[in-house]
Structure 1
Amino acid sequence: MTATGASESVAARGTPGGGPWWWARRRSAVLDVVLAVLSTAECAAEGVPFAHTAGVPVAVGVLLGLVAGPVLLVRRRWPVAVVLVSIAVMPAEMGVLLGVVGLYSLAASDVPRRIIGLLAGMTVAGTVLTTFLSMRQDVVTEPGFHPPVWFVALMALTVGLVLSAPPVLWGLYVGARRRLVESLRERADGLERELSLLAERAEERAEWARNEERTRIAREMHDVVAHRVSLMVVHAAALQAVALKDPEKASRNAALVGDMGRQALTELREMLGVLRTAEGSAVLGSGGSDEPERLAAVASRVSQQAAGGAVAQAAAGGSAGGAEPEGDGPWLSELGELVEQSRAAGMAVEFAVQGAADGDGDGDAGEVAAGGSGGSRYAARVEQTVYRVVQEALTNVHKHAPGARARVRLAHRAGEVAVQVENGPSERGATDAGLPSGGNGLVGMRERVSALGGVFVSGPTEAGGFRVSAVVPLGASAARAV
């Protein structure tokens, strides 16, 4: 029966500067070679008196020592074999170093404890028996010295325990300490792998956050800048039509076009100023740790500029007891201004609000004339989402149904707010205003509403127009009465 020691497992893993064969390190191989040489010399020297006692040639005793001593070379690979050889040569009274080192190697190995105990007991028994017989023979041959038998037995037992117990106990301690160190090393390696995985996941989350902010900014640019540019094109067309017939109206349209153009340029400049470094290189792919925060700040500034702060405060102050909106806009109280911009561009827009102003109405309060949203105040994301839906829907009417009548309805219900924008057929038939379209308007609206757990529906009407509807839930913490 053979067993593999703990040193073999270390060698199997491999370490820098590993030794030959089963040795983990070169110094371990050197140590075992030195121990084997010493053990061989000891066994060979002890083989001489054994040969005289046994009545065999001296060469036989020396040869036995030369065979038994080098077994220490394999003590790390087969510690059980080393101990068995040491027990076998005990009757020849040789192999003290072989037995001590073999017991230590066996106890420090990964051999099961029951085998260690069995072999250690056999070693103690063999040592006690051999020592007892040797001492009895010495007592018989020594004149004048006749100790009792119990004294000889006690001395033999003491010698057996002294030669066997210390190496076994020390080997058990070293083996336990080695296994503890290996366990701690494995735990450290596992923690290092976990930290690496956490770092990779953190990088993935950061990349996801950057992509989300890029998408958000692209949505804001589409909703805000595209809306203003669309109105500029409509006003420019009206300006061209009335330039000769009504110079005063043409002047007003020109002023509106200029104001909207300046606002659009300001928003674009703010956007590009953050999306570029001081040297003018793009930072969207830089992966900086503060990039998501900066992108979010840009989107918030764009939304706030598009809101029209003065009009929002006036509308909120007149309908909500003078309270000013908190946080970034736009707000539902600014829908009146948004509708007025479309009216100024020549669109016939009807705006109505249904339900109580505090958001708890059930639809029986009747419809309120245009001019505000009834002063309701919900979570910022809810109000911004509803505002952007109306804004994009009116922009699409300007693009694809010039001259059509539109109707904007806002309804405050229990636990939700609903909005619907519907337009009739275009007075120009299948033609539109010639404005370019990226095809992302409806997609962006659906993403905004779905992100809040709402429902978005869009499609043509039976009358030949188009309808956009959205229902946004307020949630447990969304509604905040001012």
Structure 2
Amino acid sequence: MTTTGEARSTARHGPWWWDRWRSAALDGSLALVSAVECAAEGVPFARDAGIPLAAGVVFGVVAGSVLLVRRKWPIAVVLVSIAITPAQMGFLMGIVGLYTLAAAELPRRIIVALAGMSMVGTMIVTFVRARQDIASGTWTLGDWFVPFASITTSLGLTAPPVLLGLYVGARRRLMESLRERADSLERELQLLAERAEERAEWARGEERTRIAREMHDVVAHRVSLMVVHAAALQAVARKDPDKAVKNAALVGDMGRQALTELREMLGVLRSGSGVLGDKGVRPGEMPAIPLAAVGAAAAAAADSAREDGPDLGELDELVGQSAAAGMTVALSVEGVARSYAREIEQTAYRVVQEALTNVHKHAAGAKTYVRLAHRVSEIAMQVENEPPPEPASASAVRLPSGGNGLVGMRERVLALGGVFVSGPTDAGGFRVSAVIPSP
């Protein structure tokens, strides 16, 4: 994570206003050199001004030491350098001060104004000094040299530090902007990664729920019929051997069908991305299964279940299996049958299948009516049973119930934008109704 903004302002390790000790040492060194320079230049200034040499040296040391606060108060440093320009002092302080001023986060008008004042002051001092030297005979050049020397000197001491400071300041602001942008992008990527992980976890949970629902639909109905046939087999084993043999054959057929469907579904899970393969895994060990691979396997299993699942064409066989188990069930179809989307046909079939399974569990022997209606833009189904003839018959069969059948049916129907209603009837039975839109 990059360090910008408030984090950088709190990451100070230097003394006073410096961010780092290295910056403090640099400014201290520059201030020391500037103080020595101004002290040396204070000697001729004291002679020309007619003041004690010690006063000129002390004045130079104090003036040159102002460079120590260039990062804190760059305007003050430039103003001091302009003030001592007539005394021909502080050339290093003027150059470093202008550079610091241009590189600082200050309005451009202030930078331009102070740089202009420094250039004008240097030009005037240079012009006066050159005229004095020519008048005293120190220089024998023409009059053209005075303006030339004053202009070039003022530009040479002002323009380079200002331009360099502007460049460094712009580069510093650009780097700061890039750091902030990188920091923002890093936070966004981290947030996106967290959201992607949450979505992946949610998708894996949804796929696990879907696989569990498919396995419940596959197993519950057939196993319930097997239990009913087994109970009937136990009741007629001695009285009617032929019927007992028939019931035993039905139990075997349904068991084989349930095992076949389970094997197909588990085979998809086992082959999905190789997550359950036994390559490189010793007996008794549990292979490491990545969560992403589990989600992929669950998605593959769900897709396989959607592609190979039952449809409405198998509804007659479903009703016949319940009738073979001893249930009195009547199927009625209204409207003209047509083809629907695969999800719609599977959902309609599963609703009827789960409703018949619930009748076997809770109302064994009750007369049941299965109604299917093909409408213009929807398909409706209803499974209604009368009260069981013997209330104790359901408990005698001892069919366990997980309580998730109605919940699973409701989730399936609502996922397709349909309506699901279930509840007891006035006659003491139970009714399951569902309507699924089919544009």
Normalising by structure 1, what TM-score? 0.82
Shift in CA distance, 288/249, structure 1 to aligned 2, threshold 3 Å = same
Whether 1:12 aligns to 2:9 is: yes
- Larger displacement relative to structure 2 (125-134 or 179-188): 125-134
Looking at structure 1, the residues matched to 114 and 145 of structure 2 have their Cα atoms a distance apart, in angstroms, of 26
Code of the aligned partner of 1:125 = V
CA deviations over 1:87-146 (Å, ceiling 9, x no partner): 121121100000001000000010111111111111112111211222222222227848
| Match in the other structure for 1:87 | 82
Shift in CA distance, 144/36, structure 1 to aligned 2, threshold 3 Å = closer
CA deviations over 1:413-455 (Å, ceiling 9, x no partner): 1111111111111111365242111111111111100000000
Code of the aligned partner of 2:169 = G
Whether 1:345 aligns to 2:345 is: no
Is the contact between residue 407 and residue 422 of structure 1 (CA under 8 Å) also seen in structure 2?
Answer: yes
Code of the aligned partner of 1:98 = M
| Match in the other structure for 1:52 | 47
The number of aligned residues is 424
Code of the aligned partner of 1:474 = S
CA deviations over 1:334-381 (Å, ceiling 9, x no partner): 1111111101101111112211123xxxxxxxxxxxxxxxxxx21111
Select the residue among 23, 31, 39 that pairs with 1:28. Answer: 23
| Match in the other structure for 1:473 | 437
CA deviations over 1:9-33 (Å, ceiling 9, x no partner): 9962537xx4433333443333222
Q: SS state of the match for residue 290, structure 1?
A: helix
Whether 1:245 aligns to 2:239 is: yes
Code of the aligned partner of 2:336 = A
Whether 1:424 aligns to 2:386 is: yes
Select the residue among 384, 396, 403 that pairs with 2:365. Answer: 403
Looking at structure 2, the residues matched to 11 and 450 of structure 1 have their Cα atoms a distance apart, in angstroms, of 53
Select the residue among 127, 131, 134 that pairs with 2:129. Answer: 134
Is the contact between residue 8 and residue 23 of structure 1 (CA under 8 Å) also seen in structure 2?
Answer: no
Write the mapping of 1:26-175 to structure 2, written as runs, cut at 5 A: 26-142=21-137, 145=140, 147-148=142-143, 151-175=145-169
Shift in CA distance, 395/77, structure 1 to aligned 2, threshold 3 Å = same
Whether 1:293 aligns to 2:255 is: no
State the 1:281 CA deviation. 7.0
- Larger displacement relative to structure 2 (75-84 or 20-29): 20-29
Unaligned runs of 5+ in 2: none
Code of the aligned partner of 1:389 = V
Select the residue among 421, 442, 458 that pairs with 2:406. Answer: 442
| Match in the other structure for 1:214 | 208
Looking at structure 1, the residues matched to 159 and 86 of structure 2 have their Cα atoms a distance apart, in angstroms, of 20
CA deviations over 1:147-199 (Å, ceiling 9, x no partner): 44x75234323211111111101100110011001101110110010000000
Shift in CA distance, 344/9, structure 1 to aligned 2, threshold 3 Å = closer
Looking at structure 2, the residues matched to 29 and 295 of structure 1 have their Cα atoms a distance apart, in angstroms, of 63
Q: SS state of the match for residue 21, structure 1?
A: coil
| Match in the other structure for 1:314 | none
Is the contact between residue 5 and residue 180 of structure 2 (CA under 8 Å) also seen in structure 1?
Answer: no
Is the contact between residue 8 and residue 22 of structure 1 (CA under 8 Å) also seen in structure 2?
Answer: no
- Larger displacement relative to structure 2 (268-277 or 204-213): 268-277
Looking at structure 2, the residues matched to 450 and 147 of structure 1 have their Cα atoms a distance apart, in angstroms, of 101
Kindly, what percent of the aligned residue pairs are identical?
A: 66
CA deviations over 1:261-312 (Å, ceiling 9, x no partner): 23334444565673784457778x95522322211333455x47xxxxxxxx
| Match in the other structure for 1:366 | none
Is the contact between residue 133 and residue 139 of structure 2 (CA under 8 Å) also seen in structure 1?
Answer: no
CA deviations over 1:27-81 (Å, ceiling 9, x no partner): 3333222222221111111111101111111111111111111222221222111
| Match in the other structure for 2:341 | 379
Is the contact between residue 218 and residue 262 of structure 2 (CA under 8 Å) also seen in structure 1?
Answer: no
Code of the aligned partner of 1:126 = G
Looking at structure 2, the residues matched to 143 and 87 of structure 1 have their Cα atoms a distance apart, in angstroms, of 27
Is the contact between residue 420 and residue 435 of structure 2 (CA under 8 Å) also seen in structure 1?
Answer: yes
Shift in CA distance, 143/417, structure 1 to aligned 2, threshold 3 Å = closer
State the 1:463 CA deviation. 2.1
Shift in CA distance, 57/32, structure 1 to aligned 2, threshold 3 Å = same
Looking at structure 2, the residues matched to 101 and 457 of structure 1 have their Cα atoms a distance apart, in angstroms, of 84
Looking at structure 1, the residues matched to 8 and 183 of structure 2 have their Cα atoms a distance apart, in angstroms, of 18
Shift in CA distance, 258/299, structure 1 to aligned 2, threshold 3 Å = farther
| Match in the other structure for 2:354 | 392
Shift in CA distance, 143/251, structure 1 to aligned 2, threshold 3 Å = closer
Looking at structure 1, the residues matched to 49 and 7 of structure 2 have their Cα atoms a distance apart, in angstroms, of 44
Select the residue among 372, 375, 379 that pairs with 1:413. Answer: 375
Q: SS state of the match for residue 131, structure 2?
A: helix
Write the mapping of 1:168-207 to structure 2, written as runs, cut at 5 A: 168-207=162-201
Shift in CA distance, 410/143, structure 1 to aligned 2, threshold 3 Å = closer
Shift in CA distance, 144/458, structure 1 to aligned 2, threshold 3 Å = closer
Looking at structure 2, the residues matched to 84 and 9 of structure 1 have their Cα atoms a distance apart, in angstroms, of 31
Looking at structure 2, the residues matched to 247 and 9 of structure 1 have their Cα atoms a distance apart, in angstroms, of 89
Looking at structure 2, the residues matched to 292 and 19 of structure 1 have their Cα atoms a distance apart, in angstroms, of 52
Q: SS state of the match for residue 226, structure 1?
A: helix
Looking at structure 2, the residues matched to 422 and 8 of structure 1 have their Cα atoms a distance apart, in angstroms, of 69
Code of the aligned partner of 1:419 = M
Code of the aligned partner of 1:12 = S
Looking at structure 2, the residues matched to 261 and 171 of structure 1 have their Cα atoms a distance apart, in angstroms, of 87
Code of the aligned partner of 1:131 = T
